[in-house]
Amino acid sequence: MVNPRTLYEKIWDAHVVERRPDGTCLIYIDRHLVHEVTSPQAFEGLRLAGRKVRRPDLTLAVPDHNLPTTPRRDAAGNRIPIADPQSAEQLVALERNAPEFGVRLIGDADREQGIVHVVGPEQGFTLPGTTLVCGDSHTSSHGALGALAFGIGTSEVEHVLATQTLLLKQSKTMEVVVEGELAPGVTPKDVALAICGAIGTAGGTGHVMEYRGSVFRDMSIEGRLTVANMSIEAGARSGLFAPDEKTFAYLKGRPMAPKGADWDAAVAYWRTLHSDEGAVFDKSVVIDAADIVPTVTWGTSPEDVVPITGAVPDPMSFADPSKQAAARKSLDYMGLTAGQRMQDVAIEHIFIGSCTNSRIEDLRAAAALLQGCGSGAGINELDARMTEIKARPRGRIEPPPEFKPIATYAYAAHKLRAPFSRPVDEKLLEVPEGRPVEPDLSRPKQYLEGFSLDALAMVGTITKPSNPLEALIEDPTGSVTRVRVGSYMGRNFGRVVEVSSDQIALVEIVPDGQDGWVERSRNISLAE
């Protein structure tokens, strides 16, 4: 007879390849997500060792951390350079490494691109009962779908790429049970913060947490992603939810999820992924849902929380002198005073949305709050404001003017330029002799390539014995950078070809208007 097992123990046992006498196990890894921060060194290690990625079909590359939230392509579809040179270099490395090693890459402008620990669930790459790793601290998010997922370091990234395995010791088990009905306005993040407040940020150290009870069963998948994500805030190695009908409905039809007979077989197996009746956990935490109210932090740690109905604690109320000192620093940083009611703290700025909340949950909470505007106490100011706006006199919108028909556009076919493409100087159409010019788009961008050439100024030179002459270039931020022959600057692939005492000469590569490129000479003179 098989002893009752927890969900974590079932997944762990199914993935042990080898168990050593000291308890260390070699674990098979089903899924591996890589991004641009922790993967360059790992891929380079494989390259130097002459090794391949063991299972490129089980590996997915996603650019994330260094991508700006601003537009990444201009109106013509051309890439907008990333100003930070290190970020740009890491992204270029991922775009080079992934195809070289046969790993599928979701591009920076692809529709599928997003937060690395959200892309997995969205694409069906994350599946119940699997082991999943990523060089990202919030990888535990995938536990919302019943996957044993955790973050790993750069050396471990290389190990998984090369072997599809990982050396680990089995964690202890912890159940977090929340039964009952949550009060209005209480979000999954409040539940997670309440757990952190109950057990502390080290309360889950050495454990994998399994979330059980009616509150978690009633949560949306996005809400579960929030809670699983924040498992690490309580010190846990990972967080787990037993897959259920919500999980199956969420995954069905996802691009990378099983199809047809494979789907039916997968669901049959997934239904077995729950803690058995009588399974023993190493630690158990039980919280009454009625005790959870909207929760806010008064400090700089997830365990520094109080209910919105509470007050800022007195640092001297903590027994540990180090905690007293930390609390005093937190209050000073947050601009709060001991005993201050949280309801009396003025709201200055509101940010909606975060990777922790898997983006959509914060928006749902905000929408639910605004949905009730117009009735009840506590929103009188907002209600009055909206009434005032509605009562304002309506302006009159003038009818649009009559436009003349667009004249027929005639253009010379020999110039091979579409009528609606941007105009190009005629002089640029004189293609130099030799091979057509083409910029090296795979080359990592240098710092000064993040600025327009017209925004850069030559402010001096540096002369050293036996060294080539260098120019000092000041950018709009006030920083000064040294350049020499061969350096790049400006947004048009400008390369320095000559440095003299009073100017530098560059050659830029610009579009020729015929889907090609030509060189253009530019000079920057010494500023007076």
For residue 25, report the phi and psi dihedrals to the nearest 5 degrees.
-120, 145
Longest Cα separation, the chain: 89
CB 447 within 8 A of CB 437: no
Query: Of 361-370, 383-392, 452-461, which gets the smallest average pLDDT?
Result: 383-392
CB 212 within 8 A of CB 177: yes
The whole-number pLDDT of residue 452 equals 84
CB 100 within 8 A of CB 61: no
Judged against a pLDDT cut of 80, whether residue 370 lies above it is answered with no
Residues 441, 447, 452, 456: is their CA dihedral positive or negative? negative
**Residue 247 in 3-state DSSP?**
helix
The whole-number pLDDT of residue 375 equals 52
Label residue 426 by pLDDT band (50, 70, 90): very low
Q: Rounded CA gap, 32 and 134, in Å? A: 6
Q: Where do the DSSP E strands lie in 56-120?
A: 59-61, 104-105
**Which residues neighbour 246 within 8 Å (Cβ) at sequence distance 6 or greater?**
220, 221
Return mean pLDDT, the chain: 85
Q: Rounded CA gap, 79 and 445, in Å? A: 12
CB 85 within 8 A of CB 444: yes
Six-digit token pair at 63?
């650019």
Query: Of 57-61, 74-78, 275-279, 322-326, which gets the smallest average pLDDT?
Result: 74-78
Most confident option among 98-102, 360-364, 491-495: 98-102
- How far from the centroid of its chain's Cα atoms is residue 109's Cα? 14
Six-digit token pair at 525?
């003179």
**Residue 9 in 3-state DSSP?**
helix
Q: Rounded CA gap, 224 and 192, in Å? A: 10
For the residues of 179-227, what is the DSSP string, one character each?
ES-PPTT--HHHHHHHHHHHH-TTTTTTEEEEEESHHHHHS-HHHHHHH
Judged against a pLDDT cut of 60, whether residue 379 lies above it is answered with no
Tens digit of pLDDT for each residue in 297-333?
A: 888 887 788 888 889 999 999 888 988 999 999 999 9
The whole-number pLDDT of residue 383 equals 64
Q: Give the pLDDT mean for 190-208.
A: 90
As a whole number of Å, the end-to-end CA separation of the chain is 89
The count of other CB atoms within 10 Å of the CB of residue 435 is 6
Label residue 340 by pLDDT band (50, 70, 90): very high
Label residue 264 by pLDDT band (50, 70, 90): very high
CB 136 within 8 A of CB 152: no
**Residue 77 in 3-state DSSP?**
coil
Judged against a pLDDT cut of 80, whether residue 354 lies above it is answered with no
Label residue 441 by pLDDT band (50, 70, 90): confident
Tens digit of pLDDT for each residue in 120-131?
A: 999 999 999 999
| Domains observed in the chain | 7-291 (3.30.499.10), 425-525 (2.30.30.830)
C-alpha closest to that of 301 among 313, 319, 284, 285: 313
**Which residues neighbour 25 within 8 Å (Cβ) at sequence distance 6 or greater?**
12, 16, 17, 18, 19, 167, 168, 169, 170
- Sheet containing 104-105, strands listed edge to edge, beginning at the edge strand earlier in sequence: 104-105, 59-61, 31-34, 131-134, 148-151
Percent of the chain at pLDDT exceeding 70: 86
Q: Rounded CA gap, 19 and 13, in Å? A: 10
CB 215 within 8 A of CB 182: yes
3-state secondary structure string, 79-131?
ECCCCCHHHHHHHHHHHHHHHHCCCEECCCCCCCCCCHHHHHHHHCCCCCCCE
